[in-house]
Structure 1
């Protein structure tokens, strides 16, 4: 049997379906050009493009402006500061960046767009005017920067990411661009992701909504707003970045920290229950799968990167038109086409490493009862355990082993809660204690340590 790792190319039928989707997107979206790409497990396996100029189609190395996709990169820089112990996500902004007028909002609220800040800056349309017109943070925030009560609801804010960029500069003692290049772009090999365009790059265009004519859009440096939307990148670089968002990279951020970024930070707004927002990462439920990534737009450009971590598939969609091409829908379709046509092979089953083969742990496996609810406990790698209901829906959770004994919950209802084994004086296991809940080997067995006791008459019929 062919090894799944050898499938570094897609089937011809899959490639044709991808090429067709990009062709439809460029035609129906009336975009001067359109580039699509797909990655599997962090490596680009397909790219395709269409252009209005015969014989002059862009490729996966052509730069497009990616707009708010820049926010993911800025969020990575902030998470690095947290992981180094230089700040806490619950810190008020004022602790590290004073004089903003919104210092009471927390760093986590800024990352997840729950700080209550305005969506845009006061004054002229910031995306089409030079950044020099907003030389100071007060020019970005205005006299009334808070529109909502902090922490209460999701409200997307571009000025919020300007504050995060300034925070990075203050804590690092260097420019946002320098920090980004040295801490993220260079370690990940994103050599074609830059603050200013580097040839070959696409020009940005506005296409008339009622006629097939177009005019060039201005390309402004955003100044202080750069951390919210400045970057240029390529389909190939974004495919590589997608692998980082799925698995992490210890040179930049651990897998656990990247997973934290992908966790919803706040409930979505009314009517938006298909999606949400993490810490710098957009979330979308589409075609029965969860996609993470970000959309982006600036005058002349629209972009999207979606990653299905479960499928190991990512897709990029880039176009050089102000409006028309629906890059989020196209990128989601590219993921669906590959994931459905060529589903991921599961990892082969293997026994646990000998170091994890612990007889005491093995004796804990099997059925446990919370009252009359039946659960099963099984072992995972690195001495982790999984507790899951044996019938129907219930509170399933994975637990990571603690160095001092017991386990900490990683998922679901029991995330952050501690699971411990309680033993009798003779060393035998009495029960499991999970957030004060008692799990016993039998349902309400007389003599078990069940809060409230067990009726002495025992089980009975009618």
Structure 2
């Protein structure tokens, strides 16, 4: 084991620089932790990105969720409610009122991924009253299967607010961030911060991304932070901190271990079981090469806990080795992302990465090759016969922001697939004319795909409220949250 004073800073910096260059992210910032302390920070940025420092904050997306989960577990520890209580016992008006608090925390409540309406991450969130009034459908019965739900964490944030009598982020500031010294974390930036961009997949151009107000959806992914703050949080969450009694006063170690224990396997088509979800926490198996550690074995599995995050303009990843407490956090200023923190974690252990298992961004990711194979399998047709044969105009290349997908048709189904590691789902004809419903595992399982027309011409796809266009942020399409005033431009 490398000692704290032997942290491979040069190698970590090299991994970060290669990550930025390979993904063309305007700026990436990272930190590493060991023995409960932040032992390294680094920033890699384009010359035109303004020279951010390790103190600059980025939006962290769904890494907000485990912090909200801590606030919920604190209330459980105080006896305000129990994990097996139905949420309706405490929020009678909540959607999925019969789902338990634990099911909401583990994404097994049966709620859809997103609230009703337009793509909320760009257009802005819903109020609590709007969420309640929208009559969200139940995709499956509670406890039936894992389905990532941002709405579920809006419900949990509301639970915290009602129980504490103040805003969820004020609760986190008083009960989590301040005790753990997370001075750069907040619902709005507390200091210097970077702008977020979409980076054009085929040109050296960017598109400014809006910073929308998420309202009641904030607990699903609105926070800003720095990698150093995230590393402090991650080591504490994995019980490898140096806070002692002060850390236990935030949440006892036994409760933190309960949060980071796997509760539901993330089951993806064509892929091994490499991920699970606890109570607001992702649990992953990463494979890294540690030369000489295990004779005649090239890689070793490393269980990590943490979370990943994505909102327009930003992606983030937090990983902590459960056994050693080594921790890494990395955040980038690009909608398209940069991958994950596996390479940094391997470098911290003095290893070189061999396999970086895909990070979970907004939910489980799919094996696009597996989905394609499934389309070619006899007997894969859904109800409605070969309905896809009548809609060839739907197929081809589509873009979710700058991220490219392909929509393929066969055997009566459609499959929306991306590059390896990019989420995808297979769709069968839906109940309403022209609609399709996700039927394979993946982020959009149970969600609806709808063609969007303008003047009788197909211009976009609405996939579980997300807007996909024929070109990145196509100017002829009304994109939720709007277009950059100057369009695609040089950084």
User: Would you say same fold, with TM above 0.5?
Assistant: yes
Q: Could you say which residue in structure 2 is the equivalent of 1:451? A: none
User: CA–CA distance in 2 between the matches of 1:282 and 1:22?
Assistant: 23
TM-score (norm 1): 0.69
Q: 1:324 to 1:199 in 2, by over 3 A?
A: same
Q: CA deviation at 1:137?
A: 4.2
Measured against aligned partners, the alpha-carbon deviations of 1:250-276 in whole angstroms (never above 9, x if no partner) come to 121111100000011112223451111
Q: 1:275 to 1:140 in 2, by over 3 A?
A: farther
Q: Could you say which residue in structure 2 is the equivalent of 1:251? A: 249
Q: 1:232 to 1:55 in 2, by over 3 A?
A: closer
- Correspondent of 1:204 among 192, 196, 209: 196
User: CA–CA distance in 1 between the matches of 2:188 and 2:137?
Assistant: 29
Contact kept, 8 Å, 1:153 with 1:269, in 2: the verdict is no
Matched, 1:318 2:326: no
- Correspondent of 1:8 among 4, 11, 32: 4
Measured against aligned partners, the alpha-carbon deviations of 1:23-58 in whole angstroms (never above 9, x if no partner) come to 111011111011121100221111111111269432
Q: Pick the structure with greater CA Rg.
A: 1
Matched, 1:263 2:261: yes
Matches within 5 A, 1:43-192: 43-53=37-47, 56-131=50-125, 134-139=126-131, 142-192=134-184
Matches within 5 A, 1:405-420: none
User: CA–CA distance in 2 between the matches of 1:16 and 1:144?
Assistant: 50
Matches within 5 A, 1:372-451: none
Q: Could you say which residue in structure 1 is the equivalent of 2:304? A: 291
Measured against aligned partners, the alpha-carbon deviations of 1:411-443 in whole angstroms (never above 9, x if no partner) come to xxxxxxxxxxxxxxxxxxxxxxxxxxxxxxxxx
TM-score (norm 2): 0.65
The DSSP-based 3-state class of the residue aligned with 2:190 is: coil
Gaps of 5+ in 2: 242-246, 288-300, 353-491
- Correspondent of 1:241 among 233, 236, 242: 233
Q: 1:208 to 1:254 in 2, by over 3 A?
A: same
Q: CA deviation at 1:341?
A: 4.9
Contact kept, 8 Å, 2:95 with 2:132, in 1: the verdict is no
Q: CA deviation at 1:8?
A: 3.3
Measured against aligned partners, the alpha-carbon deviations of 1:93-151 in whole angstroms (never above 9, x if no partner) come to 111111124211100000000011101111110101133xx223443773233111110
| Divergent runs of 4+, >6 A | none
Matches within 5 A, 1:29-48: 29-48=23-42
Gaps of 5+ in 1: 343-462
Matches within 5 A, 1:447-462: none
The DSSP-based 3-state class of the residue aligned with 2:309 is: strand
Q: Could you say which residue in structure 2 is the equivalent of 1:279? A: 279
Number of matched residues? Answer: 331
Contact kept, 8 Å, 2:26 with 2:49, in 1: the verdict is no
Contact kept, 8 Å, 1:311 with 1:339, in 2: the verdict is no
Q: CA deviation at 1:340?
A: 3.8
CA RMSD, aligned part only? 1.9
The DSSP-based 3-state class of the residue aligned with 2:64 is: helix
